[in-house]
Structure 1
Amino acid sequence: MKKIERAEKLVQSHLKTFRCPICHQGYISLIGNTLVCEKGHTIDFNRHGYLHFLNTQGTTEYDRAMFLSRRRLLEAGLFKPIIKKVNSLLPTTSQTILDVGTGEGTPLAQLAALRHDQDFYVGFDISKAGITLATQLGINAFFCVADLRQLPFADQSFDTVLELFSPSDYREFNRVLKAGGLLMKVIPNADYLLELRHLLYGDRDQHYHYDNSKVLKLFKQHYPDAEQVPIRYQFNLPHELVTDMIKMTPMSWGKNVRQPTKDELANLTSITVDVSLLVAKKVIKGIANSI
């Protein structure tokens, strides 16, 4: 089955999951390659098999080369322990799962590989380059380009919202989550990619250290009963992926970033992954801010 045919079949069978980004009404039909909402607004599948829900082209510094570097690292297992922990905390029943800022899609594909075929997965990102790569994975998931602040999904349409290292909009997350649904957010801790940070910056630079307290505080303001699950491990970095390790993260974009020497790169053989998995059930009231 072609990518576009697979995507259209998924959307057709889950039509009520989506809503029009223009009028916020539901979609009522899929005619050919065209999705039609209750008020007649239309959107077409492109040749890559995804829908572009943004009213503008969208801007991002994440390009194809960066996503390819990230894919090589993720396929090598950089985030697999995180994905395994996420899966262990999910219900074993069939789930509808939304992956926020899915990028090139590998983490979602790894989660799907651990679960059963009855789940319905949707991944979105603002980057067309990432989503185009995600559609090449061949997994039973639907990918789209969309705006975090105006999700093209119906109210109470997902059992789980998963967000790895991306911005959040808690109002929108609560809107699309079902009653009792789970929000699972992964944030860096102080030692996340510590070796890379210290390689690229001097100890007086702001990038040399990392503090997640603002992100954590805001999350707990909205979800005071949330569980914080620490995940920490060492990832053995193959020599051929050292350059990809540097390219895959915005950490290398800082104003005062330094160029490592060949010897320094040769000595970068292990990376610390130090994160918190924040797990919360849907909050009904009081969600207004985002980060």
Structure 2
Amino acid sequence: MSYVKPSEFTAKMIDAGEAKVFMSLRDTVIRAFMAGAILSLSAAFAVTVTVNTGQPLLGALLFPVGFCLLYLLGFDLLTGVFTLVPLAWIDRRPGVRLNLVLRNWGLVFVGNLAGALTVALMMAVIVTFGFSVEPNEIGKALGTIGESRTVGYADHGAAGMLTLFIRGVLCNWMVSTGVVAAMMSTSVSGKVIAMWMPILVFFYMGFEHSVVNMFLFPSGLMLGGEFSLMDYLVWNEIPTVIGNLVGGLTFVGLTLYATHARTGPSRPAVVLPEKAPAKAGAR
């Protein structure tokens, strides 16, 4: 697997964040568009598998294929840049400013959204034969997901909002762990294995991923889901984005940076005095 030590892959995380800050507008948007599109296709694939087999675990087991592909192709998800890009600013890399960090986040958000909406429209066409018939079973499942994870939270008020936020935090804790895990190996097989595990956890546990939701909820709106655009924004996308930011940056980026890039000083060894030899004849 060609394991890379934490101190080494943490340095790679900072380097990756710096590179993304200075990436051109064109490349940033193209890479974000493709990441959103591929992840959306993977989500559609997982829903299709779940509907056709009746086994949600099987859908979750296969969903990470999209994440692995987009990472290996060098594309960017909002959840990943939430974790990596700020590290270059925190590390005071030359020329990295907060406004450039925010610019990267904004461009990746727009690119991810465009890619996800493109695939959502394509899938809506497929499951309705160009909107000429009622959605098939897969289309109905997409609509149901949107309802349960918008108005379903709203029914619980503040408790629902808290639950949504925590699911967003836990999601990017796992997803960003997958991003970092890929840096633990120098082989393709090692990267894939390391990424697959945390992505499987997030998807099967039903945590909230802002980019996956950019596909699922617009799909639901196109396919007759009983929720509104405002429901989607207020009771899913906005809290999920905030939760993803907190989860990835707090529990992955800053944690690894603090303990591996800015390791605290070691404690001095304590030398205990040797015991005096017992006197002869002592009882």
Which structure has the highest strand share of the two?
1
Greater share of helix:
2
Identify which of structures 1 and 2 has the higher relative contact order when contacts are C-alpha pairs closer than 8 Å and 6+ apart. Answer: 2
Scaled by the length of structure 2, what TM-score is found?
0.24
TM (normalized to structure 1)? 0.23
Larger Cα-atom Rg: 2
